Amino acid sequence: MKKKFLGNWFLFILSTVTLSAFAQNTSQGTKQKQYQISSPDGRLQVNLQVGSEITYDLTVDGKPILSPAVLSFRTNKTTTEAAAKSPGWQVKNSHKQIIDERLKPVVAQKSSVVINHCNELTIAFKNNLRLTWRVYNNGVAWRWSTLPSRDYNTAYHIVGEQAEIGLKAGDSLWYALEEGFYSGNERFYHHWPVDSIRSGKLASLPVLMEAGGIQLLLTESSLFDYAGMWVRGTGRGGLKGVFPHFPTRLKEAGDRDVHVEARADFIAKAAGARDFPWRVLMVAREDKDILANQMVYNLARPADGDFSWVKPGKVQWDWWHLNNVYNVNFRAGINNDTYKYYIDFAAKNGIEYVLLDEGWCDVRDLLKQSRDIDVEMLARYAKQKNVGLILWASWLTLDKQLDQALDSFASWGIKGIKVDFMQRDDQLMVDYYEKVAKAAAARKILVDFHGAYKPTGLIRSYPNVMTSEGVLGNELSKFTDWITPGHTATLPYTRMAAGPMDFTPGGMRNVQKDAFKAVPSEPMTLGTRCNQMAMYVIYESPLQMLSDVPTHYIRSPKCMEFLRAVPTVWQNTVPLAGEVGKSVVIARQALNNDWYIGAMTDWEPRDFEIKLDFLPKGNYKMILWQDGPNADRNAKDFQMKTLQVNPEATITIRMAKGGGYVARLIRL
């Protein structure tokens, strides 16, 4: 990591990182110190009070946004009788530095260059713990570490971590309510006042908070060998982090479910000095600013090794429509003819991958293929067409056969795996994610985690981990009317802020809400055709699915013109407009310098006047797909037009209820 340091105190003051300390006697006799650290532009400031406890608050543009809240970290070494003789947090030393670097991600989720510029404050304590803060222009983060010492050179337990958020009366949250720690984190985001969040209301991260007119998104980064953080209400109008404790008794229930029947009285085991996960608070003055935030990536552990072989792309998916291919001369199903058809379709349309989801093998044995499938033959056939195959696996079966299965997959020429149904993020399961990522990388295999917790920066640490679920996505449209345009207009500001999400867009049987029916073999999606198409610009997933049956895509060549062209990684991202749960408008620059615009709305029709001043100078051919005049009645109705525009132009985006809009701009 390249870091720039300022060599004298005067220049450091001018850099807007201010660090001051004063001491006073408390009732416990513990000296109290105060520290401040500001963002590079001086507009965000964290104030720390260190004494008998550690508290912090946050100021944005000179306005207090978060009230003082408590931070703490306890191991079984800090709770001994010897430690009790030195109450409070006694500072050993503190350190300050500026980080200013340009990162070039292997997989360009939002941009091909990521700016990592922040001010950092590190405080080391006499109990051999360290607290590090980083303050960016668009957010703040902190993490704990254990320092090399006699206590932490051997095994120890983390018995508690206190991470509170000091919200105020009148603040509100977008809250992913959960029933318990056993969850695939596929949840709605309920918009509730903070006063209604009681201690019994558990939520998975991320959580989006509206505080003092500012949006704050809470999530975490660099989660390794530890438990994921969740939140509950404090009962005092704020939030507190909670963690699934270390499992001590597990019970298998079938080929994929493993339930925790007993837990230890500690969060995690550890050995040796180490860093723990970053707690991330993104700061956005406008809702749309969240869409460009890359703090999770910046704070993630850098990759170690060569990942130049990683290839993003689109994927033709089979499970969503139950292989219900028609208008063909063979019997469709889980068989070679059907997958050759998928491969041929992918090859013709420049789709990089075909996924064989559940059904291609015995769910308890990844080396026992279904009767009518020959994966090795299909992989050879796909390779001839420049298409790769991805195989689904139950996480539990893969865990039992990891090396044998991945060795076989690699020998067959398989390019990726979709690992499903983990549904936990205690320390043991978090370790499993890294084990799979590392084992797959060693064989040059991509990974898509389903039944998963939210991303925490693995796309940087292991760039072969391309995407993950942990989202209430399109697959549920097979069974329910839950996936509404209001929900899909919420996700870019909430779940997607944590990292890539495998929402699986691309449904072509589009309906308004009064026409919806659950048809698992030929699913419908709520909202317009252009709403689904816009997801390919708005939703970030370097391994992006085409969820519907090829038959439907073939019947809509105008849509396929867009789906063939739209990429899955981006050179640049420019948020244009939007409001959480209501709308989103975004522009992205492809690696080939084409630009794309995507827009979505909830059940309200909306118009936007958008300036094209984000474009580089020149004239552009603009091909657009917009809701048709009857899309409010027949959601499949759309129009395709071609215009000539330049950076001085202003375009009008009109969307029907549940609507959308996409455009491709090619420089002339």
**Pairing between β-strand 91-103 and β-strand 620-627 as defined by DSSP bridges:** unpaired
Chain centroid to Cα 111, Å, comes to 15
Is the link from the previous residue into 629 a cis peptide, with omega within 30 of 0?
A: no
Q: What's the residue count for the chain?
A: 668
**Distance of alpha carbon 528 from alpha carbon 606, whole angstroms:** 13
Residue-wise DSSP of 237-289: SSEEEE-PPPEEEEEEETTTEEEEEEE-SSSEEEESS-B-PEEEEEEESSGGG
With CA atoms as reference, report the closest residue to 379 among 354, 403, 398.
354
- Which residues contact residue 592 at a Cβ distance below 8 angstroms, ignoring those fewer than 6 apart? 567
Residue ranges with strand state E in 28-90: 33-38, 44-50, 54-60, 63-75
Chain centroid to Cα 413, Å, comes to 29
**Distance of alpha carbon 37 from alpha carbon 220, whole angstroms:** 20
CA angle 248, 254, 258 (to 5 degrees): 25
Phi and psi, residue 641, nearest 5°:
-135, 160
DSSP 8-class letter at 59: E
The token pair at 464 is 């072969």
DSSP 8-class letter at 126: T
The overall longest dimension of the chain from CA atoms, in Å, is: 85
**Distance of alpha carbon 534 from alpha carbon 655, whole angstroms:** 11
Question: Which stretches of 385-465 are DSSP H helices?
Answer: 395-400, 402-412, 427-442, 458-461
Residue type, 209: M
CB 597 within 8 Å of CB 662: yes
CB atoms within 10 A of CB 385: 14
Chain centroid to Cα 198, Å, comes to 26
- Active site annotation includes 475: yes
Give the active site residue among 220, 475, 502, 540: 475
Residue-wise DSSP of 567-583: -SS-SEEEEEEEETTTE
CB atoms within 10 A of CB 464: 26
CB neighbour class for 43 (10 Å; exposed up to 12, middle 13-18, buried from 19): middle
CB 539 within 8 Å of CB 498: no
**Distance of alpha carbon 97 from alpha carbon 552, whole angstroms:** 56
Residue type, 319: W
Q: Which residues in 286-320 are b (16+ Cβ under 10 Å) and which e?
A: ebbbbbbbbbbbbbbbebeeeeeebbbbbbbbbbb
CB 283 within 8 Å of CB 139: yes
**Distance of alpha carbon 264 from alpha carbon 17, whole angstroms:** 41
According to DSSP, the residues that pair with 369 across neighbouring strands are 361
Q: Which helix (H) or strand (E) holds 123?
A: strand 114-125
Residue ranges with strand state E in 186-235: 190-193, 202-211, 214-221, 230-233
Residues known to be catalytic: 420, 475
